Chain A
């Protein structure tokens, strides 16, 4: 699933564009305004904001442990005003679960994406800039990761070290970075021999400075777009792991909720469906945002 990131992030082309347009990056004010005008980015952004608000406000609106058994089990949504979304098979409040779950699911997704970003960006930068051995090693490693299905790999890691929030986030991050690294590497290769870089080198800038000051900012476009997609994928992966029984049993995450409701889906489908919808909305929001960013930041797309 994370392999999609690299290909979907860039609008597919068959030829390489002239680098000149990359140097003149759009101004900050310009692209944010354009972002606001893009419908998909707007909708995605608003939805995502709502989800983040849910996550942040959960300890205020729902103090106490969402794992507490506070109600009659199998209360359907809308039946009891105290438990608007009903309760699950152990009598835990679903609304509280959704809010707290937003926090956990987003946390896992963000941490794993950060890990993937750190590994992927640095790996891609180093490989693209230095070439040679570093590049060869990176290429072999990413190739290898592409042949092992990333979900199976994450599954294997979590199964072996046992599921906790930390191990799940690590496993997802570790299996997601290769595609990002390839992406970054491709971008770095484009810029490696540009005039700007040559000029900086001539002026005596260190490699690190060139990489961070000149190259990295210009690779932000695909990285940003990829980020939102990686977060989305991480949420889907976490819920799939929970479905297979590999979720952290002490935490309330949407994936855990979907997994636990699986057994009673025929009579009490809302236990699985409601967190499922939460997942869909969040992933959708992230995808829309990613689409919007791709539209807006794509230098060739001058409307």
Chain B
């Protein structure tokens, strides 16, 4: 009974967010001067008013706003994300083509941020006050303060051009035509710089967070109790301290996922990574309402789902918190 209530509530939340995103997107693009027909005419190199009128009729842009909006909602109800007239493809297909690259980039950067951040934070907490701690904390502060695109550019210059260790951009070496293991390794090489760039900011966050919470938790009663009971330090560290310190980390993970598309726009631009961030950016300038909305909806759904998972993991980590 409770589970059903929870599920219903969650689904309602999903629907209301989807509706909200649709409304905002629709009206935002209406505010922007020019429409998709204007974009196409500009790109085509010239146009006549008849040509543009024909385009508008084709895209349904000549109908009243509410009619257009209603049509879109209807489509959505049938899980149809619409058609991108500029790309000449269904939106779902366009997004589908770029989803693997996006997931790869985001997954890798999140993994990097969490693993590196948690490790460094733990080390800093364990050696609190000493040189290792000072160095790690300072680095974390600096990475937290540095603009993402600037780091990306500098990394390209250092690792790709000066040292020639890693490729300049793109997702894989097309001309080589690798398959199997070679392909995986090739993609991995191309993934390193973008994932690190995207993840550095959050790595700094997790480092500071981990350090702060571990220092905090270590001082708490139950840790001292465990030590008094004779538990040896490693067990104390892993079983108790880490488990409790992971809670805020998990919360932040939810936040990171939601803001990562914004950062992805910058990283994908610098590294020519064929992901959804850049596609959304371009869709905005092309007034491609269907495409932009499709991407935003997908990202919103992902964020909501991830937050559900985070909530669930939360309850597993701390039995005192109830799933609500």
Contacts and interface: CB of A to CB of B under 8 A. Distances in A.
Interface of A: 1, 3-4, 7-8, 11-15, 140, 143-144, 146-152, 155-157, 159-161, 232, 236, 239-240, 243-244, 258, 262, 265-266, 269, 272, 276, 279-281, 283-284, 287-288
Given A144-B20, A269-B157, 19 more contacts: A12-B216, A12-B247, A12-B248, A13-B216, A14-B320, A15-B320, A143-B13, A148-B24, A148-B296, A151-B263, A160-B31, A160-B32, A265-B153, A266-B161, A279-B147, A280-B142, A280-B146, A283-B146, A287-B145
Given A12-B213, A266-B161, A1 B28 contact: no
Given A4-B255, A147-B258, A284-B145, A262 B266 contact: no
User: Is the interface on chain B under 10, 10 to 19, 20 to 34, or 35 or more residues?
Assistant: 35 or more
Given A8-B209, A152-B262, A147 B145 contact: no
Most buried by B among A11, A149, A265, A287: A149
What DSSP secondary structure best describes chain A's contact surface? helix
Interface in B199-254: 205, 208-209, 212-213, 216, 244, 247-248, 251-252
A147 B304 contact: yes
B38 interface: no
A206 B300 CA distance: 41
Nearest to B31: A160
Most buried by A among B147, B212, B304: B147
Nearest to B216: A11
A157 B20 contact: no
Contacts of A258: 147, 150
B309 to A, nearest CB: 14
20 contacts: A1-B262, A8-B205, A14-B247, A14-B318, A144-B16, A148-B21, A149-B261, A149-B262, A151-B263, A152-B262, A152-B280, A159-B285, A236-B147, A240-B147, A244-B269, A244-B281, A266-B157, A280-B147, A283-B146, A287-B144
Interface in B296-324: 296, 299-300, 303-304, 318, 320-321
A166 B24 CA distance: 21
B148 interface: yes
Interface in B3-42: 13, 16-17, 20-21, 24, 28-29, 31-32
A140 B23 CA distance: 14
Contacts of A161: 31
Nearest to B148: A240
B31 A150 contact: no
Interface string B77-100: 000000000000000000000000
B284 interface: yes
Nearest to B149: A243
B265 A152 contact: yes
Given A147-B304, A160-B28, A265-B153, A239 B259 contact: no
Given A7-B251, A240-B149, A156 B142 contact: no
B262 A150 contact: yes
Smallest CB-CB A-B distances: 8 pairs: A151-B262, A12-B248, A283-B145, A149-B262, A147-B300, A160-B32, A284-B145, A149-B261
Given A11-B212, A266-B161, A144 B17 contact: yes
